[in-house]
Amino acid sequence: MKRLVVTVAADGTVSAQTEGITGSKCLHYVAVLEDLLAAQTVHSEYTADYTAVAGTVTTRQEQHDGA
């Protein structure tokens, strides 16, 4: 499930974290949030989802006899 978790602190600072969004697609969500808040990112870092591979990997093995 894709999520953007946004937290607003008592001092008004906003932090956000994407969950379930793999690769550089998460950067699009950051840009949208900046536009919505008329804000600029001060600090960012990648989560483990950034390097995760989207989708399912299927492995297939075949064995052939020499005939």
Q: From CA 22, how far away is CA 29, in angstroms rounded?
A: 12
DSSP string covering the chain, please?
--EEEEEE-TTS-EEEEEES--TTHHHHHHHHHHHHHT---S-----HHHHSPPS------------
Q: What is the pLDDT of residue 21?
A: 85
Q: What are the tens digits of pLDDT across the range 24-61?
A: 888 888 888 889 888 888 888 888 887 776 655 555 55
Q: What is the pLDDT of residue 54?
A: 60
Q: What is the pLDDT of residue 63?
A: 61
Q: What is the pLDDT of residue 40?
A: 87
